[in-house]
């Protein structure tokens, strides 16, 4: 729906039509009228045509400068936004790695628990068998070998679990650093947008 208003600019009546509100159209006309009057007040030698042309040039100059500032603002916003996107991507990768390592560590812990139960059972059998060593020498020898093998495997798994715990702690530190950086960048980005929005409205 188009609105139509009658306005006065520099003493001449004009009809403005547009999809904007009537209030906006009146404000637009008043702005131009005010600028023309200021130019004529500062230099009485200007006639209507020269004052209108100079007003158009001044408004066009302000518009071009404003467009340039908007482009610079966009560029200044794009860089932290891209960095934020990259950090979020890295954060997701680190989080996935952390979850994977945590899952693997849990599996190792479960295997270690089972191994410990087996080790305890073998140790129990070993202790019982040692009482009748001469009678069951061959079985005793086999059980001892199993015990030693399980013991070595248990030591290896414990070392691997310890290493996994260190990896998890390191990933936790990286995740925390990424989260802090993301929060800081979001805050900087918001402050930049608020500052640019405030400057933009102040110019208007």
Tell me: the pLDDT tens digits for 3-33?
999 999 988 899 989 999 999 999 999 999 9
Residues above pLDDT 90, as percent of the chain: 25
CATH topology of domain 68-203: Helix Hairpins (1.10.287)
CA count, 13 A, side-chain hemisphere, 188: 14
Residue 188 has pLDDT above 60, yes or no: yes
Check: pTM over 0.85? Answer yes or no: no
- How far, in Å, are 96, 156, 159, 177, 192 from residue 164 at the CA level? 15, 12, 9, 20, 41
| Cα 69-76-192 angle, rounded to 5 deg | 90
Label residue 44 by pLDDT band (50, 70, 90): confident
Confidence of residue 142 (pLDDT cuts 50, 70, 90): confident
C-alpha dihedral (70, 75, 78, 79), degrees to nearest 10:
-150
Write down the residue that tokens 């009485």 correspond to.
44
Domain range summary for the chain, segments of one domain joined by +: 68-203
């Amino acid at each position: 729906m188009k609105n139509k208003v009658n306005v006065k600019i520099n003493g001449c009546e004009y009809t403005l039509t547009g999809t904007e509100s009537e209030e906006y159209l009146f404000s637009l006309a008043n702005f131009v009228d005010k600028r023309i009057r200021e130019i004529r007040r500062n230099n009485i030698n200007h006639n209507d045509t020269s004052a209108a042309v100079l007003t158009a040039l001044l408004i066009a100059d302000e518009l071009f400068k404003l467009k340039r500032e908007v482009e610079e603002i966009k560029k200044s916003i794009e860089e932290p936004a891209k960095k934020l996107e990259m950090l979020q991507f890295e954060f997701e990768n680190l989080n996935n790695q952390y979850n994977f390592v945590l899952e693997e560590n849990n599996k190792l812990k479960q295997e270690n628990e089972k191994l410990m139960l087996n080790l305890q059972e073998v140790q129990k059998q070993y202790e019982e068998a040692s009482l009748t060593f001469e009678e069951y020498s061959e079985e005793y020898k086999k059980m001892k070998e199993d015990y030693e093998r399980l013991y070595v495997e248990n030591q290896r798994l414990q070392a691997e679990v310890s290493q996994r715990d260190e990896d998890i702690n390191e990933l936790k530190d990286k995740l925390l650093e990424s989260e802090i950086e993301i929060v800081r960048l979001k805050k900087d980005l918001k402050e930049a947008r608020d500052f640019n929005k405030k400057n933009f409205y102040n110019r208007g």
